[in-house]
Structure formats: C-alpha cells, structure tokens
Structure 1
Amino acid sequence: MASASLIDKAIVWESAVGWTPECLDEGPDMLARYRAAGFSFLSLTIGADWDRPEPTLRHLSQQRRWFEARAHEFEIIDTVADIRRAKTSGKTAISFHLQGAGPAAYEPAMIDSWYRLGIRWMILAYNTRNPLGDGCHEPSDAGLSMLGRAFVAEANRVGMMLDASHAGVNTSLDIIELSSKPVIFSHSSVFALKNHERNVNDTQIKAVARRGGVIGINSIGAFLTDDNTSGVSAIVRHIDYIAQLVGPEHVGLGLDTVFYQPFMTKLYDSGPMMALRGYPRPPWADVKPEALPELIEALDRHGYDETALLGILGENFLRVAEQNWRP
C-alpha cells in the first residue's frame, strides 16, 4: 500500500500535543512538522490539573488569536464536519483539551463555558489525587468521588468528551461505566506489554471498547518497552495488542511527541516522584510525526486493510467525537 496516497485520503488525528506555556518555544516548528507529515487534526493541551481558570483562559485566548492569525494554515474547529472541511481545504484542524480539572476549578458548571471556548475533551484526574478522583500513581486507587461523578454527568450533557488517560484504574473504570457516551484514553499504551502505571490494563481496554471508546497509543519509550526505547515497531506491537483483544476500531494515535525535553527534565529534577513512579530521566525517546509513512507501511505488512488503517489513523476517534460533541 502506498502510504502517501493513504495519508492524502485519511484524517490523521493526533490526540496529544503539549501546548501549555512551558512547551511553546519549540511549538511553532513542531506544528510545521505535523503539517508537513500529513497530520489533519491536532489536539493541544492548553491547561493541566495544576493550572487555574484565569491563567488558562488567558493562555487559551492568546493561542486562539495566534492560530486565527494563521488561518491560511490552521482552522480552529468546533465539530467533526469542521475537521473534514479543513482537510479538504488543505488546513490543519486545531482543537484544545485539558489534562485535569484544575482549570475548571473543580466546578462542574464551568465545563459548558470551556466547551464554548473550544475545549473538546478533558481528563478528570491527572496522575495524583484531586477532588474528582485518584490518578494513576495514587497507591489507594480509589474511584471517582461524588464530585467526579457530577463531572461525568455534566460533561455528557454538555458534549465534552471524557479522557481517562492519567486516571487511576478504578477512576477510569468509573468514568467509563458512568458515562452515557463513549470515553477515550487519548494517549495511553498497554500495561501487558510494559508494566507502567500510566498504561492501561486488559480490564480497562475491554471496558472502554465495550462502550465504543478508543485508546490512542503513546509513543514515549517509557510506556512502550522495558529498555525505554521507542520506535514504529514498538507502537505497532501496542496497536496490534489492542486490535487483537477488542478490534482495530478501538485504537488510534496519541503519540505525545515530547518536543519540550528541557521542560520535562526540569520537572523531573524538581522532586523524586517521577523517578519513584518508574520514569527515566529525560530526554525521553518517542516517535516523531515524520515516521507516519513508516508506521502505515508497518501496519500494512502486519495485515491491516485500508478500512482498519483509516480507522487507526483517525476515523475511530472521529466516530467517538461525533457521538460526544454538539453537532
């Protein structure tokens, strides 16, 4: 299969592009690389659990203005139809998400306001415990709190897609069970292939698939291989594991390319937690957008037909977005 012709045909969806203020020095160059590689849609992390509403709102407003000034290259989208139209017009579709509920001040009523401003999905608990539930590194592994359950209900009402990446196992299972709409793991890999708390186990994979959701495979080596290396073959291994377990319609791309290595090194060195939770010291190995043709060709050799490939590249996530977002 010719990878170039498939990229031309596909909506290529990337779920996790770091875009908090710490990531922006290298950001514009990275966007150009995603565009050149043929990615159709990029979701940008505009705020994290440790952020609060006012600075996140300021940052989002500044970034919306930055993209609107480059409307010949980018289109900030509201709907799945917008993503398809941007592809047709040669633009890269842009949306935003929150990795944690801190920017919503842990207040369910703020979900609708963030949705109206362009946030299309949110993580509820990021790595550690917050008022909504436990993150994946909390030893207690408690599930959603009463407040977390209220967040799920309000997100469903508003159309905000829910992302269970970074959540604890029981928190993620509660989100999946309580949500009336499909849930995603936007950038998580397979625990059975790499024993890391950030990865998702078979119970989580089966639960999210049973409700129609999708898992985007993370390309960071710490989540892929025992020696923390990365590469296309490692990603294919994780994609194939999920496809064999629950079907190729439940897997996609969440490469989470770390183009802001100095910031991650500073974060790693700021305290012992990352080392204690199994992370190597940065720089971290990952897969860059230019590897997209190699990834397609590897999946093709693995026996994935065009329908499955189009799904993995983006149609699977588009299906879930269409079931969540307002039309």
Structure 2
Amino acid sequence: MKHFLPILPALILAACGAESDQIDPVDPAEQATPREIHERILVIDSHLDTPANLSKADFDIVTDNPTQMGQVQVDLPKMQRGGLDGGFWVIFTPQGPLDEASYAAAKQAALTRSDEIIAMVEAHPDEFELAYTADDAERIVADGKRIVFQSIENSYPLGTDLTVLEDFYERGVRLVGPVHFRDNQFADSATDLSATDLGGLTPLGEELVREANRLGMMVDGSHAADSTVEDIMEISTTPIVLSHSGVKALYDHPRNISDDLLRRVAENGGVIQMNALGSYIENLEPPAERTAALEELAASFEGRSPFDLSDEEREQYMARRGEIDSAYPMPLSSFEVFMEQMLYALEIVGPEHVGMGADWDGGGGVAGMEDVSFLPKVTERLMEEGYTEADLEKIWGGNLLRIMRQVEAAKAQ
C-alpha cells in the first residue's frame, strides 16, 4: 500500500501563538528521500511481457524467481522491492501467415494468454486485481494490491473480424497495438524493411483505430512504422501511446522515433514510454560465437523466419535459440545509457509526455537495472536532475492515466 506523509494541520500552527508567525513550516516533501517519494507515488509500467511466463512450470508470480535478463524480471517480491504498482500485462502473439486458419490459431493463442492473466489474478486475489478504468488503478493501489491492465501487442489474432476486439475489451484489454515485427493486415511495421510498403495503416487498420476509439481503448504505436504512427494520430480521437519505444537521435534504430515525430506525438497529447531493451538503445556487437550459432540455426530451417514455421518447428527453433542465448549471451547495455534515452526524451517533450515501458520479460533490462526491483534508481536519478515529485507522478503513471481518462471520456461522448 502506498503511504502518504502527514501534512501538519494549520490549526496546530495557529495554536502555537505569536512565535509561530516567525517559523516557516517545513514542507514534508522537502524532507522525503527519493525512495519515500517513489513509494508514495503511483508507479506503472506500460509493457510487461510477464504473461509469457505464467504457463511455465518453474515460474510462480508470488515467488522471488531467479532473475534472468530479458526473460524473468517481474514477480510480486520484485514488484514490492521496486515499488512497481502494476501496469499493462501483455497479450503477445507472433506474426504468422495472413490466412483464415492462421488467424483462428492466433486468436485462440491470444485468448489463452488472456485466460492465464485472469487466472493469475483469481489465484491471488489479495495481491492482484484486474483494472478496467483509471479510477480502478488508483483504488487498487490504495487497497494494497497490484494493478493488472491487459494490452494487445500485435493485433494479428483479430484476423479481419474487428468484432473480436470487443471480446478482448470485455476481458480488460485497454491498450492495443496494430503490429509487431512484420507488416500485417492492419499496418506497416517499423522493422519489416523487406516487405512492400503499405503506406502506414491499411483500410482495415484505420477501422481498427476507430473501433478502439469506440470501445474506449488506447492505441499503441510501438513497433509501428513512422507512417503508421502518423496515420494513427490523424485518425484517432484520442492521444497515442508508444508503450515501449526509444529516441532515434541517440541511436538510429527502426524501432526508435525521431525528434520531429516525438514532438508531434506530444503535441497530439501522447506519451513515449521508455524502452530498456539494450539492442534498441545502443549498438551492441554480438560475440562471434553467437553470430555463427545463429547462422547455423537459420540454415537448419532453410532460412525461414520463425514466424513462418509450424508450431512444432517453432518450438524446436525457440528451444535451440534459448540454448544459444544462454551459451553466448548478447552484451548488456547500461543503466546510464538507458537514462540518457529517458533524459533526452524529457528534454525534448517534458515530463507530461514521457513514462516507463521497459519491455520487462520481453528482452528489456540493462546492467544496473536487471529487473523491476531496481526502479527506485530511476526516481533517484531523475530527482538528481532536478525533476520534482509532481513531475515524477506524471512520468511514473499520471500521463498514462490522463490519456486513459481522455479515452474514457471520448467513449462516453
């Protein structure tokens, strides 16, 4: 439960007589440590890939699981140590073929992942609660529980039937991203550089944005091509969220956005949630052994993408990929590099348009911020840079809830 420092009542000062007129009362906030401030503000992360772990036999959400960089970084004890009140728990589905059978399989996979999130909450009702509104989030934290919003990363499972989106809305999905690594039926991806340019959103993608507006879902532009982000802002009646993105000025990666686009996102009322996936925030050279092993793996599957494999083949591919990751891990980025990204974004658009979406359990994490228990370091560093408690309230959750309230109001109208 968040604790708030008591404010000295004016009546006490008045009762102290004339001498009290010469005493400047001390603002409790000025005495608070960064950790105390971190504990008493609402702390939300917009992109928790933790649901991918819920079906694993060796993972328990209420146990302090051994941290694995980019894979196991969120559980209840770590959230408690890091002051993380919750966030958006991701329903992720890999991109596959654009045909009816594949759509049906992807939809079932997404529903199963949502079932797992809901089952986690039902199994631990004193620790977690499903959230559906911005007010829910604040109430849940006041009750001493962790917030569980749901989000969709990659709308591929919707197929071409947008009525399915309402089914996910009823389950608690409040943030939806059209696309992931590859172009799909809805939009251009930032990283699918070999495919035909769709020009941003497809006509079906435009309808997806309108349906999200109608239902009361925020729209996520992370993983989307710049043209897609621009189209979303043009069509959506509410501001855009970039749930886990970075700035291109510091590292020119397709997943990152330019200063100009970042300013337009802010002018539109949107927010960029800062990513902590190392290879997106600096140029990290893989070990030669890793490169050779990955080339051998690709050759063994005739150069096909994992997204084009059968379920059985993909399972074999991912098992071997896991072995390679363990034997020849990628070098890590650092906490300082991550903070450079966040501080740069803050300089460009201010604390009203920046937040945290570190891609926990989906590849995120840096040396010095290996899991969510290290989040108070971010607050400490931001305070060292001169950001106030009011700024931190916006950065850590206020901006997201502000947009959510705008979405809720737009739906009501």
Shift of 1:153: 0.9
Please state how far the C-alpha of 1:233 moved relative to its aligned partner. 2.1
From 134, 145, 161, the equivalent of 1:107 is: 161
Aligned to 1:36: 81
Alignment of 1:180 onto 2:237: yes
Residue among 199, 202, 207 paired with 1:150: 207
1:85 to 2:85 alignment? no
Partner of 2:349: 246
TM-score (ref. length: structure 2): 0.69
Please say if residues 127 and 168 of structure 1, whose CA atoms lie closer than 8 Å, have aligned partners that are also in contact.
no
Q: State the Cα distance separating 1:212 from its structure 2 match.
A: 0.6
Does residue 288 of structure 1 match 2:371?
yes
Deviations along 1:122-142, one digit per CA (max 9) or x if unpaired, are 110112110111101123552
Aligned-partner SS, 2:116: helix
Counterpart of 2:181, as a letter, is N
* CA displacement at 1:234 relative to structure 2: 2.1
* Aligned residue type for 1:3: P
Q: Which residue of 2 aligns with 1:233?
A: 336
Structure 2 SS opposite 1:120: strand
Q: Equivalent residue for 1:13?
A: 44
List runs of 5+ in structure 2 lacking aligned partners. 1-31, 66-73, 96-104, 285-330
Q: What residue in structure 1 maps to residue 401 of structure 2?
A: 318
CA shift for structure 1 position 173 = 1.1
Question: How far apart are residue 92 of structure 1 and its match?
Answer: 0.4
Q: CA deviation at 1:199?
A: 1.1
> C-alpha offsets along residues 154-213 of structure 1, whole Å, 9 cap, x if unaligned?
111111110000011111111122111011000001111111111111232112111111
CA distance in 2, matches of 1:313, 1:161: 17
What CA distance in whole angstroms lies between the structure 1 residues aligned with 2:365 and 2:242? 24
What letter is aligned with 2:206?
R
Give yes or no for contact 1:230–1:287 (8 Å, CA) kept in 2.
Answer: no
Greater mean deviation of Cα atoms: 180-189 or 222-231? 222-231
Conserved? CA contact 1:214–1:317, under 8 Å: yes
1:57: how far off?
A: 1.4
CA distance, structure 2, for counterparts of residue 291 and residue 19 of structure 1 = 17
Which protein has greater RCO, CA pairs closer than 8 Å, 6+ apart?
2
- How many residues of Structure 1 are paired with residues of Structure 2 in the alignment? 306
RMSD: 2.2
The structure with more radius of gyration: 2
What is the match of residue 187 of structure 2? 133
Counterpart AA for 1:322: R
Percent identity (aligned): 29
1:287 is displaced (CA, Å) by 4.0
- Greater mean deviation of Cα atoms: 129-138 or 45-54: 45-54
